[in-house]
A and B are shown apart, each in its own frame.
Chain A
Amino acid sequence: MTEAFADTADLLDLVRESIFVRDLEGRILYWNKASEALYGFHRAAALGQDVATLLHTRYGVPLESITAQLHDTGRWEGEITRRTVSGEDRQIFARWSLRPSNTSGPATIVESGHDITGRKQAEQALGNSEYRYRNLFQAMAASFWELDFSAVGQMTRKLRAAGITDLHRHFSENPDIVREMIRQTRVVDVNDQSLALFGGGDKAVLLQSIEPFWPDASSMVYAESVVAALSRKPNYAAETRLRRLDGHEFDVLFTACFPPESLARGTLLVGVIDISARVRAQAALQKLQADFAHAARVSMLGELTASLAHEVNQPLAAIATNGEASLRWLGRPEPNLDEVNLLARRMVADARRAADIISRIRSMASRQVQEKSALPLKAVIEEALLFLRHEMQGQGVMVSLDLASDLPPTLGDRTQLQQVVVNLLLNAMQAMAQAGAARRMIAVTSRLSSPDTMQVTVEDSGPGIADAHRAQLFDSFFTTKDAGMGMGLAICRSIIEDHGGQIWVDAAAADGGARFSFTLPALSQG
């Protein structure tokens, strides 16, 4: 039998496809080189063997239907599984041809086949991946949207063609164009969480323009995401407010993702996360911090009550005395009006002085919401010193100042920054008083420590900070004062950090006292 195929054998051995011939019972009559390579059986081992047994053939469809088709049409092709000599299963795409019996011999079946295992595996992986993606998209806890923005793409191409290069600026200046882009962006698909978050009972309700979901105030965020997409950025994220179907607006983290394949199709993927709870928590935290800072200020005022009261009494006493003197001058047979005039002027000045002191106290005690404005640091420090002037005098504290007069302003809340300076000064005074220091000196300096940073330092001649305490100094509830609560420095730190600066205690000052410094960013003159 082998000789019958000898002539074509060479030819068939050059063919890369596995080709073999078997009789109707399945016995292998011919086996080409490619078959050897595919199944690992040498010709000698294959010839005469039953192919189904040798190769453990498994069919995806019933063998009867295959056989029927083969006999009906003379052909069959399909995917089958076979095992190689090493025991490995391979997926084979096989084509069978029935060669009817003729003068040379009985009917035979010619099979050609090639290994599609790799391809099958890739298909499977892709199928799995798509399955996972579908699952993720559907079930994710974030709201996902697939948007069609091909119309927007056309609009931007027209703008580019019209010579607009700075899209960002063009959008800022033309909000109506942005609204139109929003109108023309359509929802292709959403996941379950989107329905839950945006209030749609049926998915179909959300498959429309995104316009109802975008409040006017959030338009620029949309514009920026378009600019990001067109600048070939991989993604874009921003906090903004979106709108439910029932009109209720809420805070979200909006993320858009622009995989190149999707962009080419004109779609992009959007994720929306509801951050209302977080925004509320942040607002509550800020209020709490403001309340704490206020409480600390009131506490400081409490400590200063005696000296503040004394300070207000001085101008009041002067006014009373001047008033009495005026009455006496007026009560003379010839009233001395020049003298009275002078005294009246002094009374007005004294009244103003009293009013200023009261105003400083009120400002320090105020509970108002933080208000940042451009502040000259020198003035803030000088006012803080003024606040404590009387107390310092009373304790015999000498202050030396080295304040740079050409510092740029800083963006800050006047009351809060004064609170920090007053707190540091008060700490210094109290430390020196507690230690019974004979020489009580505080040095306050301010300077530019870098082109955009200012540094203020408060150094005292007190006993200094013990090494053991240094690390805990700014912790809440840490105090070395006899009757301290330990919140002052913790609050100072939160105020300074909120202003974009740092506060720290230096290693021992020149003469063993404590040295505290804080920095504040210079307001860039834009």
Chain B
Amino acid sequence: MAEKTYLQAISDGLRQEMERDERVFLIGQDIGVFGGAFKVTQGFQEQFGERRVIDAPLSETAIVAGCTGAAIVGMRPVAEMQFCDFVSCAWDHITTVAAKQHYRAGTPIPITVRLPCGGGFSGGPFHSQMYDGYFAHCPGLVLALPATPEDAKGMIVEAIRNPNPVLFFEHKNLYRRIKGEVPDQLYNTPFGKARVARAGSDVTIVTWSAMVWTALDAARALEGEGIDVEVLDLRTIAPLDFAAIVASVQKTSKAIVLYEDTKTAGFGAEIGSRIAEELFEQLDAPVMRVASADVPIPFSPVLEREVLPQVADVVEAARTMNAY
């Protein structure tokens, strides 16, 4: 057990799983010689060699489609998109082939695509997006979005072992900012199981990825006002642990869905809709959503703060819910 950053935890998980399973290899831009744009794979090429840590050309399609091919012949590929935003170049392959091949021909496609995602550091419109909303809509994909270092390690290992194509969203703004206790040994964290990050009784906040920390900060601030917030970290939005949401909403009867993606048609809208549909008689207030404004993410720090959900936004939403 040791304290690690979110980034180190992912790196550890990758390295230990590669040591355990020879079939695992990595491919991405600048991941080999350079050690990765964020240094997740620093030292990997020295340890595992060029055949298992591949510096790819500037073609997301080639990277991901190549992984699909490798998976079909029995390997366990892990692709890195240098920024989540660039995965749109591999869009067609992921949604047309990777997501549907098992349905169409019975061939499992056990690829993992790592997506450094999210904003909050003036990355601008092409380096700050959350693509979870887009992909959640495509059947056949697993979407994993760890919030803690401990989950990051366990979930990258699970992603590699999982027989489905897994989109692994690593939030860039958590890489070095968030530290936590991470077990030294190799372990995997099952998908489809949410985590109560903070138990509470007055209001439920359903959230995932970096927004978990925003919610926890808000909850801490609200303690002083006597508002007891429950924060539910979904960890994976596909598969979705709706039972955990049911349990929480039955307790508090007040739900806020907090997500970093743009508000309209982001995945939180689906959750809000399901809560209203399936838990109507449990609700003591309408379901609220707090999410990014429907604009490209600004570069300007001042504007970015207006667009991305801030702690103050969550606090205000919780106050409104509590007073309803």
Question: Do A and B interact with each other, yes or no?
Answer: no
Q: CB within 8 Å of A: which residues of B? A: none
